[in-house]
Structure 1
Amino acid sequence: MSASPDTSDTSDTSDTSDKQAAILDKIRALGPTLRERALDAEREGRHSDETIADLDATGTFAIGSPAEFGGDELTVRQQLDVVSEVSKWDGSAGWIVWVGASTNWIPAGSGARVVKEVYAPEWVGPRVAASSHFPASRGRARRTGGGWIVSGGPWTFGSDSLWAPYTNLGCIADDGEGPYLVGVQVPRDELKFLDDWQVAGMRATGSVSSTLAQDELFVPEHRVVDFRDVTGRTLDNGLEGSLWKAPTLGWSFSLMAGMSIGIAQGVLERFLERSAGRPIRGTTYKNQLEAPLTHLMLAEVHSKIQSATAMTRANAEETDRLGALAAAGTSADGEYMQKFSARVLLETAYAAKWCAEAIELLQRNSGSTAIMESEPIQRAWRDARVITLHGALNLEALSENYGRLMAGSQPHKFAGITTLDRFAPPPVPERRS
């Protein structure tokens, strides 16, 4: 087994730290408004265009956009703090920002023409949306003169598609040598959005399904890319920064864990705010914050959130470091990348679990009024649990895969954007006697 590469920090963040600080200040100023609007957004099943514009004005939708097109191109570690801060005030808003930042690698992996189409025009809101990039995709794509014909659908879980200029749809293609996944960049006005986002949590994300506006759609050649080329970064995108060389799973899932952390931090702050002077029924305590049972609970909550935070920050920093190494032409080897990617997935699932558990402790100690629809704690409780149910965060499956790697075996082979096969080291040739 090869040794992991040196873990010293090689990234230079001085040119983006001031941008990050300004964005965080604006989010904190907007935060109370996000929380105030959250109930109406839940009832509508989506955030208002006003909220999207207000988030855009803070700079949150530019944190992972290319510098060549006016984006801030923050490091993954810096993006993590932004996602957490938004999530602290409203989990659904944090989800929208997470998707808008962490899926920039999809258009960036689709070639320079797609990059220009997505990022060059003026736009208010997230630039990026993606839907149904899984083997069960109902979308189909077949080659035709000068491009592709796309059909099928619907495409499910289209987070950000209500506001993004393009949505990248997963489709199955087959040129006669077996099916494979392609990513299809489709303009917003060629899609029809379904009113099917009736869910237990993250209600305001508007992660609706979509269909084509017509039965079939002609898509130019450059907008349909074999997803193996996207994940393998085989196409020139014309972008200079090391962010575009950073591991995509490290980028996406470090930021995903940031959502859980931010939501939990927000609930902790809300609990401390509403518990001052509140009596505990069944005891003689007149102030919940003076009770030893509260102190013990808070210590457990702190430990769960802090553990999730420490792991996630380390993964974000390592993602940035590996991006810088790759940009310098000294990429880590496949064995290390495979294990790192498996680790990020596993630790994101644990971060989501621990933060959800911390929130449940806080809610359980908040009294019956914490179930009121107007109370942010109950909304955060539901939102945090939805993160743990994301299709990519099957804790038991991720645990087995990482345990296999620890024991010297290969993980399960499966199709999709979280497959670990693409990092697998080449097989060792058999020795002949």
Structure 2
Amino acid sequence: MTLTDTAAPSTSSATERERLVTVARELAPLLRSNAAQAETDRRVPQVNIDALRDAGLFDITKPARLGGSQEGFRTFLETVAELGRSCASTAWVATLSNVTSYTLGFFPEAVQREVMGEDPHVITCGVVTPTATTVRVDGGYRVTGRWGFASASHHASWANVGIPITDEAGDVLAPGMALIPLSDLTIDDTWYVAGMSGSGSDTLVADDVFVPDAHVLSVQDVMQGVTASEFQDESLYHSALVPVLALVLAGPVLGMAEGAYDTVLATLKKNKPISYSFYERSIDAPSTQLSMAEARSLIDQAKLLAFRSADEVDAAAAAGRQMSVVERARCRMDAAHAAKRCREAVEVLLNVSGAGSFAQANPLQRIWRDLETGSRHAFISLNINEEIYGRALLGIDEQVSPFV
């Protein structure tokens, strides 16, 4: 079975899947031409955002009954990877917005319509870490907090943020998620980084914001597939939450590695020589041939790992089955190793391209910095995910379950 032979998971429509991947690929010239500007501006150019909105690329996981595509996570990864080939920051923003829009399917229909009713192409953002304080009041909560690394926040109308669910005495009952309109939040300019600068992942701030009960869900419930939606037959929204949050990050990372490969391959085909050698064409050197084979294989390994887990998440959701702790931990492991393989591939490609890779005019140096940054997100941290997977394999479930 090859990468292209793998059957589409049952949660996806083949026609819509092909459309999303195709339109993402067709945006390559626009995204590539604006990639340097995204980094300079420290956010994705509006022309990119408008193009993605028009193409429905912020709607991959939204409920179909409200105008979304309601596609599975294999489609998600393939689509976002195409964006990442041309602009890592655009792909990252699309990823974080789409995974936040996926969480809309957990909420009651009235809340979904409140978010999507007037604009089915609405852009969302989110940060699941519960870095906030809450006070229980009549009908909801008063929320104060700061949520860092809020990718897509500059383009979003709603945010899904992590909060502690508390009782009237102030005791924490469970971690929660809260849907809040961006009009109730402010954005603190904090995102000054060496890589992924264009993602504009600044800090969301809430100052004593009222959040109604209907806009709050228990993360523990959602992790067990328990949602508040009236449409319990929508299998996508019963997908394993933590594996999803980890896996989606593999999409832009895969795209960055593919973009690096595309860039080096295009240079080699222009008959680039190897300086201080007798090779007038780099492609004639066995070292170049071996390195390109190694890089291609590493990227393919990364895709196989990521796509395997995406297919398993989709299949389990379609079957109405909760994945086991070991299966969920392996998804995190697959995403982490996919990221590692992509970093290794780009390191090989940099060696092929040589010191010229780091010229500011060369997109390789930006891809390298973006990949080194994005692939180290906590959800795809290799060391932690190896520890979680090892504990799951050894049956130490009580220490693993809250993180998978």
Q: Does 1:295 align with 2:289?
A: yes
Aligned counterparts of 1:290 and 1:322: Cα–Cα separation in 2? 48
- Taking the aligned partners of 2:354 and 2:54, their CA distance within structure 1 comes to 37
Query: Alignment partner for residue 163 of structure 1, among 155, 163, 176?
Result: 155
Q: Is the 8 A contact 1:110 1:230 kept in 2?
A: no
**For the residues of structure 2 that align with 1:293 and 1:10, how far apart are their CA atoms?**
37
Out of 235, 241, 264, the residue aligned to residue 242 of structure 1 is 235
* Residue 348, structure 1, aligned to residue 335, structure 2: yes
Question: Following superposition of structure 1 onto structure 2, how do residues 9-88 of structure 1 map, counting pairs within 5 Å?
Answer: 11-12=9-10, 16-88=13-85
Which residue identity does 1:369 align to in structure 2?
Answer: G
- Per-residue CA deviation, residues 344-363 of structure 1 (Å, 9 max, x unaligned), is 10111111011011112112
Provide the residue aligned with 1:389 in structure 2: 376
- CA-to-aligned-CA distance 1:315-360 (integer Å, 9 cap, x gap): 111111101110xxxx24xxx5211110010111111011011112
Aligned to 2:104: 107
Question: Alpha carbon RMSD of aligned pairs, Å?
Answer: 2.2
DSSP 3-state at the match of 2:80: helix
Does residue 134 in structure 1 map to residue 129 in structure 2?
A: yes
Answer yes or no: is the 8 Å Cα contact 1:61–1:101 preserved in 2. Answer: yes
Give the stretch that moved more between structures: 177-186 or 195-204: 177-186
The residue aligned with 1:426 is none
Q: Is the 8 A contact 2:66 2:120 kept in 1?
A: no
Q: Amino acid of the residue matched to residue 325 of structure 1?
A: A
- The 10-residue stretch of structure 1 (60-69 or 244-253) with the greater mean CA deviation from structure 2: 244-253
Q: 1:296 and 1:411 mapped to 2: Cα distance?
A: 46
How many angstroms apart in 1 are the aligned matches of 2:83 and 2:182? 25
Q: How much does 1:16 deviate?
A: 2.0
Q: 1:217 to 1:374 in 2, by over 3 A?
A: same
Deviates more, 1:158-167 or 1:37-46: 158-167
Aligned to 2:349: 362
Shift of 1:118: 2.1
Q: Which residue of 2 aligns with 1:406?
A: 393
Is 1:221 paired with 2:213?
Answer: yes
Q: Residues 84 and 262 of structure 1 are in contact (CA less than 8 Å); yes or no, is this contact kept in structure 2? A: yes
Q: Return 5+ residue gaps in structure 2 as ranges.
A: 1-5
What residue in structure 2 maps to residue 306 of structure 1? 300
- Counterparts of 2:129 and 2:215, CA distance in 1: 18
Q: Secondary structure at the match of 2:13?
A: helix
Alignment equivalent of 1:95, drawn from 92, 97, 121: 92
Q: In structure 1, how many angstroms separate the alpha carbons of the residues matched to 2:241 and 2:369?
A: 27
Q: Is the 8 A contact 1:80 1:255 kept in 2?
A: yes
- One-letter code aligned to 1:141: T
Structure 1 residue 404: deviation in Å?
Answer: 2.2
Partner of 2:273: 279
Runs of at least 5 residues in structure 1 that lack an aligned partner in the other structure? 1-7, 421-433
**CA 74–174 in structure 1, closer or farther in 2 if over 3 Å, else same:** closer
* Code of the aligned partner of 2:138: G
Alignment partner of 1:38: what SS? Answer: helix
| TM-score normalised according to structure 2 size | 0.91
Partners of 1:414 and 1:75 lie apart in 2 by 24
Aligned to 2:3: none
2:142 aligned residue: 149
CA distance in structure 1 between the aligned counterparts of 2:21 and 2:176, rounded to whole angstroms? 36
Letter in structure 2 aligned against 1:383: D
For residues 158 and 100 of structure 2, what CA distance do their matches in structure 1 show? 12
Number of equivalenced pairs: 395
SS in 2 for 1:103: helix
| Distance across 2 between alignment mates of 1:390 and 1:52 | 23
Match of residue 269, structure 1, among 262, 267, 273: 262
For 1:255 and 1:169, locate their aligned partners in 2 and report how far apart those are by CA, in whole Å. 18
The verdict on how the C-alpha distance between 1:325 and 1:414 changes in structure 2, with shifts beyond 3 A counting, is closer
Contact preservation (8 Å) 2:235, 2:318: yes
2:175 is aligned with 1:181: yes
Aligned-pair identity in percent equals: 28
CA change 1:11–1:39 in 2 (3 A) is closer
C-alpha distance in structure 2 between counterparts of 1:211 and 1:355, whole Å: 34
